[in-house]
Structure 1
Amino acid sequence: MNNLNFGLTIPAIMLVLLLLVVSSLYPDLSQAMAGNAMTFVTNWFGWLAQLASLALVFFLFWLAFSKYGAIRLGDDKPEYSNFSYGGMIFTAGVGASLIYWGIGEPMYNLQSPPLFADANSYTAAAWSVTYSMFHWGITGWAIYCFPAIPFSYAFYVQKKRTLKLSTLCEPVLGKNPIVAKCIDLVAIFGTLAAFASSLALTVTLLSEGVSQLFEIDNNLMLQGSIILLFVLVLFVVMLVGFNRGISKVSDYTVVAAICFALFVLFTSNAPFILNNVTDSFGVMLDSYFRMSLWTDPVQQSGFPQSWTQYYWFWYYAYLIMMGLFITRISRGRTIREVILYTIFMGSLGCAFFISIFGGYAVWAQLFGGYPVQDWMSEGGLTFAVVSLIQTLPAKNVILTVFLVIQFFLMLTTMSSASVATAMLTTNQLSLRGDPDNKVKLMWAGAIALISFSVFLCGGGIDTIKSLCVVAGLPMMFVYAILVKQLLMQLSNGQAQEGQSEELVEYQEFMP
């Protein structure tokens, strides 16, 4: 533990816990203040987030196919197979939230549709799955992907042994201890808060499923037991090691999730789902730029602010965790491979699951005779998701399989978050990029403690979610700094390589 940066670790954890305690003591006031802060951020800077995120997509594709795309991150061969590499990126980025929102978001889009469509109309149905795939698609994965490039270049090419975000920003900002501390704390806070709320959502879904499956009360004891189970299994995975632990769990989880999705496809209404996803892809390809830049300034429905901008700021708050985790598994890959695998494996994987689960939810609501929207209004989205899964054949067996898959999807994300935060707060990393096991286990316990505190503090989850969006704002500007820093480092590296080649040629012609 001597290698742990306590100056970053303790303040970040205490800040999240303090916010949770305050939000529980003053729930109405704290939620109102956090909500007002989020409204201010989206109203004043939401348009900028949409422009910047679209520009980032163009920048990454330019970088991938430029002369810099061939730069190899380290001298070794890739450590993981293409399937394992893509699977770990995918599971780290989506967790158990994908299926949850893959069902829930299309239903919300049906009720309150975008782009001036009428509620529950055919136009709303056309947008329902389309917008969900868009929010989990190329733009979001581009935001996740970018920080992995400067982190990987610094670690594997420049051989830097510390990966604090402030260190990467030094060539642009210079050395300022106060600014550096603020940047690192915001990065850790965004990771902890975003992941804690995601884990809390997953625990809520699992506890609801277990409650219905075994007909027991869905209470704090059940939720705490599920969090404890997460921690115990995660400890085992961490102790087994990265290659035999996280990598294997990710592989098996991806295969199981794909099989489950195919089961849903062929036991529900496959023709509708396949036709719907084809239509949704067409609508998205036709309207990608419209969706990317739609701010609705005249009608002011609030849809872009509540959904698109919320997602983008959420990704910005979560980006360092993803950037560091992708860095850990990208040794031996080229910059081009990192960009293309992350964006396409992530977005296509999300499209696959959303098209099936979201398509089934739309069919169930409009044609299947299942009142999904009524379930949402009566018992909340969690109740609606579990109830929809129980409409499938062998409902108890399928619900059990669904809950197990959700557990391991979130476990892989929890593993990724523990590794990333450990890397961010480690003073000197090993040559392989692995933090000490004690540091990873400490972060796993801290994340679990924060997540359990969400339930103890009652309504604190809404405040934390709002503050994640607020935390995403400064990270968006850090992105601009990282872009400039990366271009400086890449151009300097190319210049030094050119000078080395000229020196070799000169030496060869020396008498």
Structure 2
Amino acid sequence: MKNLNFGLAIPAIVLVIVLLFVSALFPEQSQAMAGGAMTFVTNWFGWLVQIASLALVAFLFWLAFSKHGDIKLGEEKPEYSNFTYGGMIFTAGVGASLIYWGIGEPMYYLQAPPLFAEANSFSAAAWAVTYSIFHWGITGWSIYCFPAIPFAYAFYVKKQRTLKLSTLCESVVGTNPIVAKAIDLLAIFGTLAAFASSLSLTVTLLSTGAADLFGIENGLLLQGGIILLFVVVLLCVMLVGFNKGISKVSDYTVLMAIGFALFVLFSTNAQFILNNFTDSIGVMFDSYFRMSMWTDPVQQSGFPQSWTQYYWFWYYAYLIMMGLFITRISRGRTIRQVILSTISMGSLGCAFFISIFGGYAVWAQMLGGLPVQQWMSDGGLTFAVVSLIKTLPAKSFILGVFLVIQFFLMLTTMSSASVATAMLTTNRLELNGDPDNKVKLLWAGAIALISFSVFLAGGGINTIKSLCVVAGLPMMFIYAILVKHLLHELGILKTAQQQASSSIQEIVAE
């Protein structure tokens, strides 16, 4: 463990666990404080995160198609095929949450629709899948993608062997050790908290499904057993190695998930789902800028704050994990390939799954006579998701397949988070960017411990989710620092300054 930066790892882990247990001891007070902080952030800075995120999309596409897009990140050939590369990015970014929210979001949007539509109306139905695809689409994947560019450029082109976030920020904020430690701890905290909440959601879904499938009690023992199973399987994957472990699990998981989605498509109402997908994509492209900038200042329904801004801040909190993982698997690719692959693979993959599962949920509620919203009201979204899956043919077998796919989707994300946090806290990385197995396993165990603490702490996850959004605010400003750093590294800033200086001199001369 000599290569592990204990000064970053231990404080971050302890901070998350302490926050969880404080929120368990004082649930009402902690949730009120965290909720108040989140409300303050969205009310005062929500407009800024919407503008900044849209600007980031424009910046990345400009960078991809500029001459700088041809810069190759390392001299070697790409390690992975396009399918494996795209699959690892996709599974790292979405985990098991995609299908869960792919069903859940459209149902929430039907009941409390955006852009002044009436609840459960035809207009609300038109927005339901559209907004889900939007929230899991181009903007979110741009936020995920960007940090991979300065990280990969520093590691593969500049040959830096440490990938602490503060190291990249030094050219802009200086070398103050307190500021540097704060930046690195913030990055790790955002990753741990965001991932722990995602894993706890997945464990809740798996335990609900397993309890229904096997007729056993859905309690702390079952949830702890599922977390332990995650750790054991992850241990096996890590010991096999990155190329034979994570990449292969990702390949098989993506193929299983695609096969399952196609089964849902053709065993339900394919005609409706395909037509609804086409309509949703059309509505999204027609209204992309409206959705990106809508803050609802007059009606004040709270929809942009509760959903769009919440998602964008969440992506910012989670971004370093994604940036480092994409860096690890991008050796040998150009900047253009990294940007276009990440945004296209991520967005299209999410659109594919959301259109099928969300489309089926909308059909079931609006036309199919299935009480999906009532299931949500009776037993929560987890119960509604399991109940909807059970409406498929061979319900017990299909529910089992669904749970296996959810498990491995989350496992790939857990693997990615372990690798990324290990990279962030490794003092010196090898040329292939792969941290020591002991460090990766330490982080896998830490993530599992934090996730189990969520269940021990009761409702603490709501506090952590709120704090993730709060943590996303400073990370948004760190993004601006990284943009300036990248522009400096690529020589763009210097060229722009020289051109501006020349223009001023010409004006003065005239």
**TM-score strictly above 0.5:** yes
Query: What CA distance in whole angstroms lies between the structure 2 residues aligned with 1:426 and 1:92?
Result: 20
CA displacement, residues 105-159 of structure 1 (integer Å, 9 cap, x when unaligned): 0000000000000000000000000000000000000000000000000000000
How far apart are residue 468 of structure 1 and its match? 0.2
Q: What letter is aligned with 2:106?
A: P
Local SS of the residue matching 1:421? helix
For the 8 Å contact 2:488–2:494, the answer to whether it is kept is no
Counterparts of 1:425-436 in structure 2, within 5 Å, are 425-436=425-436
State the match for 1:141 in structure 2: 141
Query: What CA distance in whole angstroms lies between the structure 1 residues aligned with 2:291 and 2:471?
Result: 24
Q: What letter is aligned with 2:305?
A: Q
Structure 2: stretches of 5+ with no match in the other structure: 496-510
Counterparts of 1:406-417 in structure 2, within 5 Å, are 406-417=406-417
Q: Does 1:352 align with 2:352?
A: yes
Q: Does 1:277 align with 2:277?
A: yes
Q: What letter is aligned with 1:79?
A: E
> In 2 relative to 1, CA 179–381 (structure 1 residues): closer, same or farther, beyond 3 Å?
same
Query: What CA distance in whole angstroms lies between the structure 2 residues aligned with 1:303 and 1:435?
Result: 41
Residue identity over aligned pairs, in percent, reads 82
State the match for 2:439 in structure 1: 439
Counterparts of 1:57-456 in structure 2, within 5 Å, are 57-456=57-456
How far apart are residue 494 of structure 1 and its match? 10
Query: What CA distance in whole angstroms lies between the structure 2 residues aligned with 1:431 and 1:327?
Result: 12
State the match for 2:499 in structure 1: none
CA displacement, residues 58-96 of structure 1 (integer Å, 9 cap, x when unaligned): 000000000100000000000000000000000000000
Query: What CA distance in whole angstroms lies between the structure 1 residues aligned with 2:23 and 2:426?
Result: 30
State the match for 1:24 in structure 2: 24
- Cα RMSD between the aligned structures? 0.9
Query: What CA distance in whole angstroms lies between the structure 2 residues aligned with 1:493 and 1:189?
Result: 31
State the match for 2:488 in structure 1: 488
Query: What CA distance in whole angstroms lies between the structure 2 residues aligned with 1:282 and 1:67?
Result: 32
Query: What CA distance in whole angstroms lies between the structure 2 residues aligned with 1:470 and 1:217?
Result: 36
> In 2 relative to 1, CA 393–47 (structure 1 residues): closer, same or farther, beyond 3 Å?
same
Query: What CA distance in whole angstroms lies between the structure 2 residues aligned with 1:86 and 1:434?
Result: 19
For the 8 Å contact 2:487–2:493, the answer to whether it is kept is no
How far apart are residue 174 of structure 1 and its match? 1.1
Query: What CA distance in whole angstroms lies between the structure 2 residues aligned with 1:456 and 1:160?
Result: 41
Q: Does 1:10 align with 2:17?
A: no
How far apart are residue 493 of structure 1 and its match? 11
Query: What CA distance in whole angstroms lies between the structure 2 residues aligned with 1:494 and 1:402?
Result: 53
Query: What CA distance in whole angstroms lies between the structure 1 residues aligned with 2:100 and 2:295?
Result: 26
State the match for 2:33 in structure 1: 33
How far apart are residue 369 of structure 1 and its match? 1.0
CA displacement, residues 404-452 of structure 1 (integer Å, 9 cap, x when unaligned): 0000000000000000000000000001101000000000000000000
Query: What CA distance in whole angstroms lies between the structure 2 residues aligned with 1:237 and 1:223?
Result: 21
Query: What CA distance in whole angstroms lies between the structure 2 residues aligned with 1:88 and 1:408?
Result: 12
Query: What CA distance in whole angstroms lies between the structure 2 residues aligned with 1:487 and 1:480?
Result: 11
Local SS of the residue matching 2:490? helix
Q: What letter is aligned with 1:13?
A: I
State the match for 1:500 in structure 2: none
Q: What letter is aligned with 1:53?
A: S
For the 8 Å contact 2:8–2:184, the answer to whether it is kept is yes
Query: What CA distance in whole angstroms lies between the structure 1 residues aligned with 2:225 and 2:479?
Result: 38
For the 8 Å contact 2:70–2:335, the answer to whether it is kept is yes
Q: What letter is aligned with 2:350?
A: C
TM, length-normalised to structure 2? 0.97
Q: What letter is aligned with 1:452?
A: F
Query: What CA distance in whole angstroms lies between the structure 1 residues aligned with 2:255 and 2:441?
Result: 27
Q: Does 1:56 align with 2:53?
A: no
Query: What CA distance in whole angstroms lies between the structure 2 residues aligned with 1:17 and 1:274?
Result: 45
Q: What letter is aligned with 1:45?
A: F
Local SS of the residue matching 2:175? coil
- Total equivalences in the alignment: 495
